[in-house]
Structure 1
């Protein structure tokens, strides 16, 4: 590590001196153009983004409107200009052919119509003419009606590692944290906020929801690497009625594709860092082109990444490419097309190391070796995951302020996985089958001639087709929005025991299933202003989800091959289910002052049940569960002055947890022998969040945020059996308690804190960020609050220098040196624990002696499982320190 860091520092020093020699100031042009941006009611729009492009030369100036919605650019050459204005929540307005003369200023008025929901998730950091807001790594908007965190391109390009996935971009959001045990972007990361794990919130890309079909979770390593993302709008709430998706339960993470650039630019980059990580990336921005009005624009990115990973033999390879094209048919009609393809391969095993194995073999041990005679040979574990994601968007402005947005899409996930089965017995290299004596050699290495099936052939594939559509109409009464999300999906999944040498599968699978799903979500909401400072948004959404689920007979891994009621063999069973929920929402925002707002929200969210509810003997499910629902109440404030941007919120959420099931043991019942599902006890999650950015001087800022909260059960689930039925021992129905009231919901940290110091000036971007996550409780699968995860922290440093358009060497626009150091202190604290069983390890005494858990900060007792630790547990650890240097060469035409 020291050698790598020394080499990178030498390269960085030389490269920075070379780039500094290019830095300079652009020559000032001549001319003047003024204007005002207003909303449909004539109200001014402060901080609207304005671009002014010379139609003859393509030279473009950028500016934002002031607090009165006014802008002015002096010294422009006499020519015709195209002026484009955009603002959060509004559709873009474009004026062509504005003739500027030398004798008098030209003034233009730009009226922006209210946009649809996909346009409303535009990231605008400069929300109130505040320097602190413009320089904030993560910011809030004065117009928001629920807690939002806006993550812009500056943060993504300068304060994250080049290998980051979309989950890791949200690391510094209040109450959120993301972990990846193999290194930043080197495997599947996991994001949680307010204690909501993946699967309890929505993620969408350019307004299109994406998620897995067996449970509404997300594959961070297989979709949308950071190179394709231009911004993130993190809404920590169920949103308004127009927020579509399968799980607006805890919130929504809106990913935004890269913006088009008005001028052509080509970039080619190379990154190298720890764990032998290599990244090649090339991007092309066409700039505006095509015809007199230059009505087309194109963005293309391709990249290749390979890495050995922090964990042993957890190799990762990713090849990916994306294309985004826009064509403006007229000032009122715009077509947008997008396609992204990812080709992923890795050697990640399906299981994780035990505490004993990590203590014996090192913090980065991952159950694999280079011995082909062993069941844990790393080549026996393979992932091959190609994905694609495409959409076409149509936006058209009709008369009388009617706006239509229509976006059909399709995407595919195709995961072929093969992995060796291993048991967590406490041994160093456990396996559930032993190889026979080797009698043959390959390349001088003895290999077994045969191994009984001790691997799994796994396949998970789905293809989706869908559309999002929205109609918006603005009048003097307010803005009406209505729309519809529909999606159809086909899924094929199976897991079959297999031979790791021959890849010959067993005759019967562990499970095999095929199913079709349909999602429907119509909505309507109305945004109105009873008076100028107050905004109210009532609305309602209807979430309807259907499933046709066929499970084939298996070896007993899921449903078996015998019907438990008829006791006869069967080949398959089909279940159909539909889930529906009415989800109302009411949001309000009041502007106390131009730079101070307060807001409140009450909204409901839901999440559809996973397919695992049908994994019961015979696949017989008499009563499918109802959708889980959450009810959220939040209040907050946003305040911005020149040197300070601050926001805070308080939330109170009552949400239903996972599912429990009971078998109907009443022989006279029509559902005898079948599974009946119940939603587990409710929980209350409540807390306080705050963040702020303080501008000090000369580009130097201090960023702070924090959260404090709790999530505990408020009731118990009781399931009764029918008196006299099999299993009921008395006339009084037996009550089964599933979750005692008052216990902590697993995976919910008591607090989080983030600290950052940034310097942004004249092409330099330097940043130090630290994220601390408070203590958490984990369940052991049967009992709550059995394992405690102590607080952990991660510190990162970033150093960047970029040549921007407008400098003396603007032809090298976007040329950049980028250094990132993740986990600066090389911490190896654990971030979560999966229970490995009862406290029955033979390596420690259980006679009241206390022991220090090497992966936790606190001393814990081994007298019992609660508060103790088990050598058979599976802790997830922070990956070791990593250093990466990136050099990007940018080239733009001379302007």
Structure 2
């Protein structure tokens, strides 16, 4: 039975689907049986043929559903963010414990997921936070910034996977570097731009798109739009001379029948940072506009831009000797006669991200969700080495512009739900590193490397959720991932491809392909209790430095790395409790190995597999009197076939959160413990032990209505990060691969000291 037509409200309309594929930065191995003789130039014709086939599939994805569209439309509803399908879903009654949960699973989820609420972001994260702090307290996830929260390019880990082993998306659109699928938290999406997040700790279903469906996905959501007009002015000041000023304006619903709404945010952040001379300055703006074209069709436009200046060096921490002599916060010097002078180390990073999205219910159960997008990243970095010479510095550029489209089409019937679509993307990249004089920044003639390349991504998918009964759904699906890379590598000083026999450059192309099946079962035991079982495969695109060998002579390229994930889980909610539990086992490929023969040809080959497995749980408990207790925990392992641990994979993590909300007061204390883990030393596993450490934050908010006649509301927030002032060593890069004995030259990553902030926001 079809729902009546209802004009959607802007606090629920078009919250886009966000499940995305999982990306992997780490170079990974392939089975020997999957090796191919890949002469790049010879392969180019085959690659073109593959692209033409995928274009035909894309046309079928569009044309076939359109033929069945009827005139009668259904309620647009709220676009689901939980299942990655982009399918409109009806609003449901939310139990009280779920409303107050900072993070929780979804009753409709088909894999292990944690949804972070917008209230957690607004109330319990630093005003200068980036997206790594937004998800930091979810099960198994941890991250840290040695310069202070929101004051560095922070990396995030979960289930033994590091940045690049998973995708990050914004409103369903994947974004990442083009040379390897890693991410930059300081250049994209600070907390002011984010209205929620979903951490999916699995490759997801066939409908989960992305460049590396490997370990999971971090799915960021844009801000919800309110019905009422509002202007907010924010000022914040804290430790290390950290300040933020910002203005946010929401128009509320306006135009014909209140069909439009607009939200924009402008802010500037400045800080001296915890580490010596590691200053930061961020200017950022975002805008989101929505238009209800009809009762069943909505248009969304989003745009953001960030301009970042920092004095961060290429080496992000002190040596043991420096920390012992100058303190844990030592990083750079103010003396221009020293190699680590801060004036020789700086970044200027600009980024922008834009999309136009159309979501529509087309009748007879058909739903369309399409997003046309572009984003860019321009990182001009200059840094110095350990001496001061005419070539000790490095002039570095990493710049790319990406264009893409994400199409999702679905049809719901009594038999089940059909989902299909196509993710297509094109990226143009320019990268180089050139030896330079840090005193003048005059570059040498030849670079360490210089490459330009274009990446074409096509990823069609199809899945069908069969309604076995009213409560049982089984969903098989398959996705086809294809990545084509067209390279121009220029002659260099021998550190990458060499002098190329006197030629100015060399051109080559290659295509990576993989078919990725999935199968899951979702069973609704009761209206407030569900269970799921999932098998999913993931992959990641190899990094471009595969070709950084003499004359780019790669005769056997790696295949895309694969994962096979098996997991089961259950989600339960009541008025006073939420509970999510899952168990998983993932088999994944390890890092690439390579060999070069006497003629200079390089072959990439498999280097074995690893297994990560464990259990995870999270719960929110209403204690009464305005108090809530949030707890989560994980226990498991991530090990190579030798039995040794994968680097940066803790044996366990635990989170404890206590929040209070009553009247004008709102406060929360959240603590995460990260268990014992190891760092590697070159090819030696378990070389360095990292002892357990704790991340603990406290936020106290007080808001009162009409403090003065000209203000609607005032909110004061006191924030304390690293409440217990822990300064643990959380990472070690040994000075030499010959030994793992602590040495003065070891590079350390340390937690920053306690920091506080006081923030005032006035609403008009």
From 588, 603, 606, the counterpart of 1:655: 588
1:512 matched to 2:450? The reply is: yes
Q: Is the alpha carbon distance of 1:275 and 1:808 closer, same or farther for their aligned partners in structure 2, counting shifts above 3 Å? A: closer
1:635 matched to 2:568? The reply is: yes
1:232 matched to 2:202? The reply is: no
Aligned pairs for 1:516-555 (under 5 A) are: 516-555=454-493
Structure possessing the higher relative contact order (Cα contacts under 8 Å, 6 or more residues apart)? 2
* Contact kept? 1:776, 1:788, Cα under 8 Å: yes
Per the alignment, residue 262 of structure 1 pairs with 227
From 208, 214, 228, the counterpart of 2:173: 208
Aligned pairs for 1:156-305 (under 5 A) are: 156-291=121-256, 293-305=257-269
Secondary structure class of the residue paired with 2:399: strand
Secondary structure class of the residue paired with 2:467: coil
Alpha-carbon distance between aligned partners in 2 of 1:882 and 1:121, rounded to the nearest angstrom: 40
Alpha-carbon distance between aligned partners in 1 of 2:683 and 2:409, rounded to the nearest angstrom: 48
1:468 matched to 2:406? The reply is: yes
Alpha-carbon distance between aligned partners in 2 of 1:546 and 1:777, rounded to the nearest angstrom: 36
Please, which runs of 5 or more residues in structure 2 have no aligned partner? Answer: 19-73
Alpha-carbon distance between aligned partners in 1 of 2:410 and 2:284, rounded to the nearest angstrom: 36
1:485 matched to 2:423? The reply is: yes
1:688 matched to 2:615? The reply is: yes
For structure 1, which segment, 756-765 or 227-236, has the greater mean C-alpha deviation from structure 2 after superposition?
A: 756-765
* Contact kept? 1:820, 1:884, Cα under 8 Å: yes
Secondary structure class of the residue paired with 1:342: strand
Deviations 1:264-295 (A, max 9, x none): 0000000000010000111001000002x111
Alpha-carbon distance between aligned partners in 1 of 2:159 and 2:751, rounded to the nearest angstrom: 20
Alpha-carbon distance between aligned partners in 2 of 1:575 and 1:116, rounded to the nearest angstrom: 42
Aligned pairs for 1:6-155 (under 5 A) are: 40=2, 115=79, 129-155=94-120
Secondary structure class of the residue paired with 1:784: strand
Per the alignment, residue 384 of structure 1 pairs with 348
1:697 matched to 2:598? The reply is: no
Q: Is the alpha carbon distance of 1:770 and 1:193 closer, same or farther for their aligned partners in structure 2, counting shifts above 3 Å? A: same
Deviations 1:83-124 (A, max 9, x none): x7899989xxxxxxxxxxxxxxxxxxx956795769768999
Deviations 1:718-767 (A, max 9, x none): xxxxxxxxxxxxxxxxxxxxxxx221111111110001111122242211
Deviations 1:323-361 (A, max 9, x none): 111112211221111110000000001113211111111
When normalised by structure 1's length, the TM-score is: 0.76
Q: Is the alpha carbon distance of 1:810 and 1:684 closer, same or farther for their aligned partners in structure 2, counting shifts above 3 Å? A: farther
Q: Residue 780 of structure 1: CA displacement?
A: 0.7
Secondary structure class of the residue paired with 1:785: strand
Per the alignment, residue 874 of structure 1 pairs with 747
When normalised by structure 2's length, the TM-score is: 0.89
Per the alignment, residue 43 of structure 2 pairs with none
Per the alignment, residue 602 of structure 2 pairs with 675
Q: Residue 183 of structure 1: CA displacement?
A: 0.3
Q: Is the alpha carbon distance of 1:809 and 1:121 closer, same or farther for their aligned partners in structure 2, counting shifts above 3 Å? A: farther
From 589, 598, 601, the counterpart of 2:531: 598
Q: Residue 543 of structure 1: CA displacement?
A: 0.5
Deviations 1:553-602 (A, max 9, x none): 111221221x5xxxx43332223111111111112111112222111110
Aligned pairs for 1:704-723 (under 5 A) are: 704-714=631-641
Q: Which has the greater radius of gyration?
A: 1
Q: Residue 838 of structure 1: CA displacement?
A: 5.2
Alpha-carbon distance between aligned partners in 2 of 1:315 and 1:416, rounded to the nearest angstrom: 16
Alpha-carbon distance between aligned partners in 1 of 2:735 and 2:305, rounded to the nearest angstrom: 38
* Contact kept? 2:309, 2:347, Cα under 8 Å: yes
1:500 matched to 2:438? The reply is: yes
1:788 matched to 2:689? The reply is: yes
Per the alignment, residue 732 of structure 1 pairs with none
* Contact kept? 2:126, 2:149, Cα under 8 Å: yes
Alpha-carbon distance between aligned partners in 2 of 1:314 and 1:40, rounded to the nearest angstrom: 58
Per the alignment, residue 651 of structure 2 pairs with 750
Alpha-carbon distance between aligned partners in 2 of 1:835 and 1:546, rounded to the nearest angstrom: 37
Q: Residue 869 of structure 1: CA displacement?
A: 2.0
Q: Is the alpha carbon distance of 1:591 and 1:576 closer, same or farther for their aligned partners in structure 2, counting shifts above 3 Å? A: same
Q: Is the alpha carbon distance of 1:776 and 1:142 closer, same or farther for their aligned partners in structure 2, counting shifts above 3 Å? A: same
Alpha-carbon distance between aligned partners in 2 of 1:115 and 1:165, rounded to the nearest angstrom: 25
Q: Is the alpha carbon distance of 1:602 and 1:175 closer, same or farther for their aligned partners in structure 2, counting shifts above 3 Å? A: same
* Contact kept? 2:85, 2:408, Cα under 8 Å: no
Q: Residue 532 of structure 1: CA displacement?
A: 1.1
Per the alignment, residue 830 of structure 1 pairs with 729
Per the alignment, residue 320 of structure 2 pairs with 355
Q: Is the alpha carbon distance of 1:223 and 1:52 closer, same or farther for their aligned partners in structure 2, counting shifts above 3 Å? A: closer
Alpha-carbon distance between aligned partners in 2 of 1:283 and 1:822, rounded to the nearest angstrom: 25
Q: Residue 145 of structure 1: CA displacement?
A: 1.0
Per the alignment, residue 12 of structure 1 pairs with none
Superposition CA RMSD, Å: 2.6
* Contact kept? 1:135, 1:760, Cα under 8 Å: no
Alpha-carbon distance between aligned partners in 2 of 1:88 and 1:587, rounded to the nearest angstrom: 22
Q: Residue 816 of structure 1: CA displacement?
A: 1.1
Per the alignment, residue 507 of structure 2 pairs with 574
Alpha-carbon distance between aligned partners in 2 of 1:169 and 1:304, rounded to the nearest angstrom: 19
1:890 matched to 2:763? The reply is: yes
